[in-house]
Structure 1
Amino acid sequence: MKKLIFTSVLMVSMLAACSEKDTNTVEPDQPQQEQQSNEQQGTENQDGASGTTQEDTVSSVTQAEALNTIKEQLGTDLAIDLPNNLPLSKGAFLTATTTATDKQAEILFLESKDYIAVNDAKLKNASAATTIAKLTVKLYDSIDEASKQVAYEDYSKNGGQQVAIGHNLTGYQDAGAGSLWTGWNEGRWALATRTRTDNSAAGVDLAKQAVEYLESHTLPIPHENGMVHLDVYQSGNLIVWQDGKLVYTLDSIKDPMQALAIAAAFNQ
């Protein structure tokens, strides 16, 4: 009888021990899974808080590499500066076509949905990429000759109707051939916006946007002068500046504010 009781107690003890072991094995797993989930969520929150996605990083690296490649493939001895960045559509890649001689270089900056190498034959197909801007840099025989290529004006001396364009600057309006120009000067730069005479307010609004933008962004310092023409109807944006015997010309840019942003990127 004692042996039977002892055996029964022993079996109960063994079962209790097994049950306790199973419980100790299962219970820690649940908190570990929760911890891994929380860590993963924290990582996702950090990525989101930074505002940087993998796609943004890839595009940024690719743009920097493309700009280096563009400069390498110019194949000219001209000391040419390039913008440090260009406005790209989300997920787009920067590419370009380049041509150069000993006195002139031309770069057509393009963006493409898929990666296309600089000067790739695919870029001969107009549908392969979209134009961002065209940069032409030309070397002249003298500083005076280069200076003549810049249509610099002192608008305060030209007269015209005065209009406030913000930050204590005054614009001077001049109309002709159905167009209305609002011009002003900042440093060595002469800037003007163009609109149609039947939409005069749009020219002033664009001038105010440009003035506000240039409060926090700086155009390259010209030697000696530079000019900016911004078009409300996105048909004639043009930025030209002199750097000694070199003359830089930016055109083929649809958005007038993007034209300013690209010019300012030469000074970053």
Structure 2
Amino acid sequence: MAKASYKPLVVLGVCGMLLAGCSSDSDSEPMESSAQMEESQSSEAASSMSSESNAESSSNQEESSDTSKEESASSESEVRSELEMDPAVVFLPTYMPENSHANIVTNNENEYTVAYTDEQGNDLAAVSGTIYTDADTALAEMDAKMNGAVSATPDEETAVDLGYGITGYGEGAAGSQYLSWEEGNWDFTIHSLSVDKMDAPEIAKRIVTYLEESSLPAPSEKGLILIDYPQGGDSVFVDIMWQKENRVYELSTHQVPLEALEMVVSME
């Protein structure tokens, strides 16, 4: 636009000096009007192309999201269909904190293990189900795996009100701190090192509050949850195990406790 209007101004100056009565109106206005029209048309074309590009990008994103969901659903369905255990007693999570891939690790009529990883191949969780000869054996095997790490021994001197009528009990031993409590047939224990000064009661209160709105699977006799914070307290290992008749189910993960619980709550 600047170059188009600049030339008529020069012509006007020259005409004024060389020839009295010389007028450039009839020449300059059409040139400026034509340039404006071209610029306007170019702007409209660019705007149209931008709108079309944005619409296409949005459409591609929606299609990609839909495809991802379809692939995830397909993957879960494929895993279930490949497991050799009776489908009626297979339980897998329908919730994962990230887009995940499921890989079958162990697969026979009496046992399955499925490992879940994120899109970068990092571990998210491992889920397993095992059938034993009877319920007593299942309970014994579960207790053996936990090795006494989860227990709630009432001690009024260390009692902590966790809300909703739930009381936790603390214990310290050999540089470690434990906070344990019971909810129905489930026993919980939070373990951390004394030097890290983890706020176990606050963590426990959040868990208790969450479980007021969400239900864990119903064990026949017992369910155990160990929340273990290694040295430093910057990471966590959560192991959730429960007995259902002659079967034991387990979910282990390094996700935070509430994410671990949400995965177990979603299992079906």
Same fold judged by TM-score > 0.5?
Answer: yes
Cα distance change of structure 1 residues 139 and 256 upon mapping to structure 2, 3 Å threshold: same
Moved more, 151-160 or 252-261: 151-160
Aligned to 1:3: none
Aligned to 1:238: 239
CA distance in 2, matches of 1:132, 1:252: 6
Aligned to 2:83: 74
- 1:227 matched to 2:205? The reply is no
Q: Which runs of 5+ in 2 are unaligned?
A: 1-47
Aligned to 1:255: 256
Q: Which runs of 5+ in 1 are unaligned?
A: 1-35, 114-128
Cα distance change of structure 1 residues 56 and 232 upon mapping to structure 2, 3 Å threshold: farther
Q: Is the 8 A contact 1:63 1:85 kept in 2?
A: no
- 1:112 matched to 2:104? The reply is no
SS in structure 1 of the partner of residue 90 of structure 2: coil
Aligned to 1:94: 101
Q: Is the 8 A contact 2:253 2:260 kept in 1?
A: no
CA distance in 1, matches of 2:198, 2:156: 19
Q: Is the 8 A contact 1:62 1:94 kept in 2?
A: no
Aligned to 1:64: 73
SS in structure 2 of the partner of residue 98 of structure 1: strand
SS in structure 2 of the partner of residue 149 of structure 1: helix
SS in structure 2 of the partner of residue 251 of structure 1: strand
Cα distance change of structure 1 residues 53 and 140 upon mapping to structure 2, 3 Å threshold: same
Aligned to 1:83: 93
CA distance in 1, matches of 2:81, 2:97: 21
- 1:142 matched to 2:134? The reply is yes
SS in structure 2 of the partner of residue 165 of structure 1: strand
Moved more, 191-200 or 65-74: 191-200
Aligned to 1:215: 212
Aligned to 2:37: none
Cα distance change of structure 1 residues 57 and 237 upon mapping to structure 2, 3 Å threshold: same
* Shift in Å, 1:61: 2.7
Q: Is the 8 A contact 1:103 1:138 kept in 2?
A: yes
SS in structure 2 of the partner of residue 105 of structure 1: strand
Q: Is the 8 A contact 1:165 1:204 kept in 2?
A: yes
Q: Is the 8 A contact 2:161 2:168 kept in 1?
A: yes
For residues 57-99 of structure 1, the C-alpha deviation after alignment (integer angstroms, 9 at most, x for no partner) is: 43333222211111112233362111122221xxx44332332
The residue type paired with residue 149 of structure 1 is E
Aligned to 1:176: 173
Aligned to 1:33: none
* Shift in Å, 1:53: 5.1
* Shift in Å, 1:149: 3.1
CA distance in 1, matches of 2:132, 2:252: 19
SS in structure 2 of the partner of residue 100 of structure 1: strand
CA distance in 2, matches of 1:191, 1:231: 11
Moved more, 165-174 or 236-245: 165-174
Aligned to 1:206: 203
The residue type paired with residue 217 of structure 2 is P
Cα distance change of structure 1 residues 95 and 147 upon mapping to structure 2, 3 Å threshold: closer
CA distance in 1, matches of 2:184, 2:248: 18
* Shift in Å, 1:221: 0.9
Q: Is the 8 A contact 1:219 1:264 kept in 2?
A: yes
CA distance in 2, matches of 1:55, 1:161: 53
Higher Rg: 2
Q: Is the 8 A contact 1:135 1:251 kept in 2?
A: yes
Q: TM-score scaled by structure 1?
A: 0.67
Cα distance change of structure 1 residues 183 and 66 upon mapping to structure 2, 3 Å threshold: same
Q: Is the 8 A contact 1:106 1:135 kept in 2?
A: yes
* Shift in Å, 1:107: 0.9
